[in-house]
Amino acid sequence: MNHLIETRGLVDRISCDSAGTAGYHVGADPDRRMSAAAFKRGIVLKGSARKFIKADLEEFDLILAMDRSNYQDILALDSSHKFAHKVKMMCDYARDHPDKEVPDPYYGGPDGFNYAIDLLFDACEGLLEIESLN
């Protein structure tokens, strides 16, 4: 998403961050296999892993979950149900992929990472298209 935000000159209008719902890799650089898949598409992944926290519910206007498990983990942090309207599924914005969840490529080979990047690129473009209409 940050790649698309930069290339479309939207950095002054849109802020994007990424966080996991589990703390397995906090502080780690992006997975080298995902970085390689992204690099093939001209994208350089930046940053380090962090865990999604309750304060993120307030800070962000839109929170996108990769799968149903992440979706439930995020909603579980919202005991007041005040922010549930902000939490959506990433694949809801995909235009060319029928997936309902982003498959986790972590335990697979390069094809899984390539597919995940293609799916995410599709969903991010779909989201930006919708947002540009608003």
DSSP string, 99-127: -SS----TTS-HHHHHHHHHHHHHHHHHH
pLDDT of residue 95: 96
Find the domain containing 31 and state its range. Answer: 2-133
pLDDT tens digit sequence for 4-58: 999 999 999 999 999 999 878 898 888 899 999 999 999 999 889 899 999 999 9
Q: What is the pLDDT of residue 75?
A: 97
Q: How many C-alpha atoms does 69 have within 13 Å on its Cβ side?
A: 6
Number of domains in the chain: 1
Segment 78-90, tens digit of pLDDT = 999 999 999 999 9
Give the burial class of 12: count Cβ atoms within 10 A of its Cβ; 0-12 exposed, 13-18 middle, 19 or more buried. Answer: exposed
Higher per-residue pLDDT: 116 or 132: 116
| Whole-angstrom distance, CA of residue 8 vs CA of residue 92 | 22
Q: Residue 110 maps to which CATH number? A: 3.40.50.2300
Distance between CA atoms of residues 99 and 96, nearest Å:
9
